[in-house]
Homo-oligomer: A and B are copies of this chain.
Amino acid sequence: MQALGRQILVEYYNCDPDIINDVSQIESILLEATRKSNASIISHNFHKFSPHGVSGTVVIAESHVAIHTWPEYGYAAVDIFTCGETIDPWIIQEHIKDCFRSGNVSSMEMKRGMFKVEEGQELLFKPKDAPAFANSY
């Protein structure tokens, strides 16, 4: 069995509430994290909620990163979904942890899209086929 993608679900507890309530800081941190991991950024959207909290997504050629923050609880939920061998999702996880000054992180890695393949064969990942030729719609 081989998997098309891998996904890390991260719970960042005890974060700096000012940082995780600041939409421009969160955007910078997530974009910097995805760049460090060698991801190709395709689009990104961040939104600030009233009275507090931020939601955002970064679509990358290798899948996506999504975030939701609850500054009132010092908590941020982050999903890091990647495919292909060129990107290391744990670089993203680590960078965000440092920047949010999270005192308590819980991470779970899942495999997505499991297929049986013949011996010697490999699943083809989108980024291998088409490194950066995504068209916005």
Given A51-B129, A133-B49, A134-B50, residue A73 in contact with residue B7 (CB < 8 A): no
Q: Name the interface residues of A82-137: CB closer than 8 Å to any CB of B.
A: 83, 110, 112-115, 123-124, 126, 129-130, 133-137
- A42: Cβ under 8 A from any B Cβ: yes
Whether B137 pairs with A48 at a CB distance below 8 angstroms is yes
Q: State in angstroms the CA–CA spacing of A63 and B11 once bound together.
A: 15
Q: Identify whether the interface residues of A are mostly helix, strand, loop, or mixed.
A: strand
User: Which chain B residue has the least Cβ–Cβ distance from A44?
Assistant: B45
Task: Kindly state the interface size class of chain A when it binds its partner.
Answer: 35 or more
The residues of B that contact A73 with a CB separation of less than 8 Å are 4, 113, 115, 123
Whether B126 pairs with A5 at a CB distance below 8 angstroms is no
User: Which chain B residue has the least Cβ–Cβ distance from A76?
Assistant: B113
- A38: Cβ under 8 A from any B Cβ: no
The residues of B that contact A112 with a CB separation of less than 8 Å are 9, 11, 77
Q: State in angstroms the CA–CA spacing of A123 and B134 once bound together.
A: 40
Point out residues on A near B: beta carbons under 8 Å.
4-5, 7, 9, 11, 23-24, 27, 42-43, 45-51, 53, 55-57, 59, 61, 63-64, 66, 68, 70, 72-73, 75, 77, 79, 81, 83, 110, 112-115, 123-124, 126, 129-130, 133-137
